[in-house]
């Protein structure tokens, strides 16, 4: 299959959109069921559920020195349907991946091999006695804890990254129970935001896991969701939600008040992140442009 080698710019109602040149498949820079993405540390890290691997692109979607990493399996440096991914400055855990099929979370250090190619070196994994289906991950640098969503157990847990020990979880609220928590993000106040793909809502919890509020409902109108997936914050403290089945991105205040949406030329967005260039980076179900970079402001 032929694919484009350079980023392409297309006008979208006055909004410039850069569409990365990667396509679906199994070759270098091809993806098969891209899921979540993280771009906040510079380079773009994306997980592929059906190829059981991780890819790393440059901050503009270009090729880097990194080869696709991982393969199907249960051992070190292997994955089974990886999903959530986050990057950190934490020693020995530059990249953290929710290895959903293996019921674990794995941490990796970024390195270089003898030829100068970038590598990921696994440093730890934990959780196969804790999780049923770990899906979303986010690291809080303020408290040095890792948040993990687990739709298999309908809960969000917090972990000490040094040893993987569970140090807390969200407190259940009978009138607003979590059913299928997937995406997770944290704001500058330490509050935790979780998307629930079954109830089509976003939940807000405090630092210790106490329930604060929930917003959204099933539907197509502004402020409503149809399978919300990835979440992230931008530098203006706005919450961005990948509204997958509605084929759009919605923006909210940190308190859940609707601001606006981006819905042109977006197909089944799953992962979402904001890059160092203040551009929106999406992992989507688009077979021809699975990685999209947009100017959204």
Whether 55 maps to a domain, the answer reads: no
Domain count, the chain: 1
Whether 260 maps to a domain, the answer reads: yes
Burial of 3 (0-12, 13-18, 19+ CB in 10 A): middle
Task: Please tell me the predicted confidence (pLDDT) of residue 280.
Answer: 94
Whether 30 maps to a domain, the answer reads: no
Whether 214 maps to a domain, the answer reads: yes
Task: Please tell me the predicted confidence (pLDDT) of residue 208.
Answer: 86
Residues of the chain with pLDDT below 70 are: 1-31
Task: Please tell me the predicted confidence (pLDDT) of residue 32.
Answer: 74
Q: Which two tokens stand for residue 209?
A: 């896991």
What pLDDT, in 10s, does the model give residues 45-87?
A: 999 999 999 999 999 888 888 888 999 999 999 999 999 999 9
Q: Residue 179 phi/psi, 5° resolution?
A: -115, -55
> Residue by residue, what is the 3-state secondary structure of 157-181?
EEEECCCCCEEEECCCCCCCCCCCE
Whether 201 maps to a domain, the answer reads: yes
Could you tell me if 281 and 293 are in contact, meaning their C-beta atoms sit under 8 angstroms apart?
yes
Could you tell me if 200 and 224 are in contact, meaning their C-beta atoms sit under 8 angstroms apart?
yes
Mark residue 102 as left, alpha or beta (left: phi above 0; alpha: psi -120 to 50; beta: remaining): alpha
Question: What number of helices (H) and strands (E) belong to the chain?
Answer: 0, 26
Could you tell me if 111 and 102 are in contact, meaning their C-beta atoms sit under 8 angstroms apart?
no
Angle CA 93–96–102, to nearest 5: 125
CB atoms within 10 A of CB 160: 14
Residue 162 Cα to chain centre, angstroms:
22
CATH classification at residue 167: 2.120.10.30
Rg of the Cα trace of the chain?
18
DSSP state at residue 69: B
Separation CA 131–CA 154 (nearest Å): 10
- pTM score, whole prediction: 0.89
Task: Please tell me the predicted confidence (pLDDT) of residue 151.
Answer: 97
Q: What per-residue string of b and e applies to 77-114 under the rule 16 or more CB within 10 Å gives b?
A: ebbebbbbbbbbebeebbbbbbbbbbbbbbbbbbeeee
Whether 18 maps to a domain, the answer reads: no
Question: What is the domain range of residue 274?
Answer: 88-111+125-294
Could you tell me if 156 and 171 are in contact, meaning their C-beta atoms sit under 8 angstroms apart?
no
Return the SS3 of 244: helix
What pLDDT, in 10s, does the model give residues 220-252?
A: 999 999 999 999 999 999 999 999 999 999 999
Whether 17 maps to a domain, the answer reads: no
Whether 82 maps to a domain, the answer reads: no
């Amino acid at each position: 299959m032929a694919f484009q080698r350079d980023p392409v710019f297309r006008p979208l109602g006055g909004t410039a959109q850069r569409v990365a040149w990667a396509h679906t498949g199994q070759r270098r820079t091809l993806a098969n069921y891209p899921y979540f993405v993280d771009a906040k540390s510079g380079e773009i890290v994306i997980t592929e559920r059906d190829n059981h691997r991780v890819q790393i692109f440059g901050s503009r979607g270009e090729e880097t020195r990194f080869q696709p990493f991982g393969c199907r399996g249960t051992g070190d440096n292997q994955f089974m349907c990886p999903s959530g991914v986050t990057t950190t400055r934490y020693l020995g855990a530059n990249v953290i991946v929710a290895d959903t099929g293996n019921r674990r979370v794995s941490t990796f250090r970024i390195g270089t091999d003898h030829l100068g190619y970038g590598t990921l070196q696994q440093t730890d994994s934990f959780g196969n006695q804790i999780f049923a289906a770990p899906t979303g991950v986010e690291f809080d640098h303020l408290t040095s804890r890792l948040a993990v969503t687990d739709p298999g157990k309908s809960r969000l847990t917090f972990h000490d990254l040094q040893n993987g020990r569970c140090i807390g979880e969200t407190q259940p609220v009978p009138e607003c129970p979590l059913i299928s928590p997937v995406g997770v993000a944290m704001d500058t106040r330490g509050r935790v935001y979780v998307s629930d793909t079954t109830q089509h809502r976003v939940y807000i919890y405090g630092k210790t896991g106490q329930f604060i509020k929930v917003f959204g409902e099933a539907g197509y109108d502004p402020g409503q969701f149809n399978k919300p997936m990835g979440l992230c914050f931008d530098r203006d403290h706005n919450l961005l939600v990948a509204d997958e089945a509605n084929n759009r991105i919605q923006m909210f205040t940190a308190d859940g008040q609707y601001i606006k949406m981006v819905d042109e030329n977006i197909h089944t967005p799953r992962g979402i992140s904001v890059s160092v260039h203040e551009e929106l980076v999406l992992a989507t179900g688009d077979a021809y442009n699975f990685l999209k970079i947009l100017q959204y402001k």
